[in-house]
Amino acid sequence: MSRLSPLELKRMTRAATEARDNAYAPYSDHPVGAALMTKSGRVYAGCNVENAHFNCTHAEASAISAMISAGERDIRAIVIVGPAMEYLCTPCGDCRQRLREFAKPDLPIYSMWKDGSFGHILTLEKLLPASFGPENLAEVGHGPLAKKTPKKKKKK
Ligand SMILES: [Zn+2]
């Protein structure tokens, strides 16, 4: 696990907080912002976006979409800032699996406490133990990690 430096954590907390403050959450009244840092050091932020259909996009998924749109694939760390509540705002099950697609199990997950601190730092492995990821499908020759075998030339 490659933890964030205090300066990186401050930068990402600011990005996640700004995203949270732009969240569109009129139904749940539970605004969340997430900022993820890729291995290149760039930061991508996202917020939850709800709609009347109740099929919303979570902050983590929103940040992942921003990262993918910019052409990056490897998440180094993520910071999540929810509304100030007693409960820690960790990624939901769906977002944990989305993070797993672009991060290793030792991904550090920083979820902000009510008082603005981060307390103990979680990992994806802790929140999604024995996870199923791209490596599983690579074994059977599918997905981005599968070894590409050159196609055999057809005999004429
Ligand atoms: Zn989620």
pLDDT tens across 9-26, in order? Answer: 999 999 999 999 999 999
Please state which CATH class domain 6-138 belongs to.
alpha beta
- Whole-number pLDDT of residue 148: 73
Asked whether 35 and 43 are in contact (CB, 8 A), the reply is: yes
Residues of the chain with pLDDT under 50: none
Q: What is the pTM for the complete model shown?
A: 0.87
Domain ranges of the chain: 6-138
Return the sign of the alpha-carbon dihedral for residues 69, 14, 77, 62.
negative
Reply yes or no on whether 60 is catalytic: yes
Annotated catalytic residue within 60, 86, 101, 135: 60
- Whole-number pLDDT of residue 57: 95
- Whole-number pLDDT of residue 6: 95
For residue 43, the CA-to-ligand 1 centroid distance in Å is 19
| 81 SS3 class | strand
Asked whether 63 and 19 are in contact (CB, 8 A), the reply is: yes
Please give the torsion angle defined by the CA atoms of residues 92, 97, 99 and 105, in that order, rounded to the nearest 10 degrees.
Answer: 110
For residue 60, the CA-to-ligand 1 centroid distance in Å is 6
